[in-house]
Structure 1
Amino acid sequence: MICPLANVEEVFKTENGAVYQCSRKNCYWLEFQDSTTSFSVSDFFLFKRRVDSIDIEQMLCDSSRSSDFEIIMPYRTDRCFILTVADILNLREVLDGAKFMIELNGQIKSIMRRGAICAF
């Protein structure tokens, strides 16, 4: 559950999850698997890198039961993600979309600042 006092804006959303940005607390909220997890900005990108580093091909080729899922415990959270291959792909989609939108917003702000400087 996102804090009711937080000032959040949707960054990216799919049918499987969403990422919101909280300007008041300078953090990101991830909604995934029916729960919400708060991340500092740096921890959010560390978590994304960790999810991206999962070797899905190895999971699919390995017939042992332990390769049917991946367990991820993000830094400074009380959350533990137990992810199947489908979950990993869905989470990657949410995180990739959020990262793209964050970078796009930064580029737009940069262009607008340059435009404001050139107008003077």
Structure 2
Amino acid sequence: MPTSPNLQELFRTAYGAVYQCNRYNCYFVEFAGGISPFKVKDFLVLKQHVDAINVEKMVEDPSRASDVHVLMPYRSERCFVLTLADVLHFQELLQGARAMMALNSILYECLYAPLVY
């Protein structure tokens, strides 16, 4: 778990966490034994790629090749080799983090929006 005054935990599950770094305007994803930084746009693309993994096909396909999914995010040194359970846990983590990002945006708008009379 990263410890820095610049990192704020955005969302956590039993399998990982997502931290927001305001200093560098990025997110740190802690998952499967590693921590990877992602710029905001790259984080959103990562979420799209993880959400696009066809879980039903992984379950139904009896071939050994369908047992894992290899994900190589843009501008990242990390490669994720995900089992079916890993895909589900990663989807949950990224979905929760994205929900917290949306909630933070709504709260910011409500607190700092100019008052109109």
TM class by shorter-chain length?
over 0.9
Q: Distance in 2 between matches of 1:23 and 1:112?
A: 18
Match of 2:80 in 1: 81
Match of 1:23 in 2: 22
CA RMSD of superposed structures (Å): 1.7
- Tell me, yes or no, if structure 1 residue 37 matches structure 2 residue 46: no
Q: Once the 2 structures are TM-superposed, how far is the Cα of residue 5 of structure 1 from its aligned partner?
A: 6.0
**Equivalent residue pairs, number:** 117
SS of the residue aligned with 2:27? Answer: strand
The percentage of aligned residue pairs carrying the same residue is 44
SS of the residue aligned with 2:28? Answer: strand
Q: Distance in 2 between matches of 1:86 and 1:20?
A: 22
Q: Which runs of 5+ in 1 are unaligned?
A: none
Q: Distance in 2 between matches of 1:119 and 1:62?
A: 57
Q: Once the 2 structures are TM-superposed, how far is the Cα of residue 75 of structure 1 from its aligned partner?
A: 0.6
SS of the residue aligned with 2:115? Answer: helix
Q: Distance in 2 between matches of 1:52 and 1:19?
A: 16
Match of 1:104 in 2: 103
- Higher mean Cα deviation, 5-14 or 86-95? 5-14
Question: Is the Cα contact below 8 Å between 1:6 and 1:24 reproduced in 2?
Answer: no
SS of the residue aligned with 1:75? Answer: coil
- Tell me, yes or no, if structure 1 residue 71 matches structure 2 residue 80: no
Q: Which runs of 5+ in 2 are unaligned?
A: none
Match of 1:118 in 2: 115
Q: Distance in 2 between matches of 1:95 and 1:46?
A: 11
Structure 1 moving runs of 4+ over 3 Å: none
Match of 1:62 in 2: 61
One-letter code aligned to 1:34:
G
One-letter code aligned to 1:27:
C
SS of the residue aligned with 2:36? Answer: strand
SS of the residue aligned with 1:47? Answer: helix
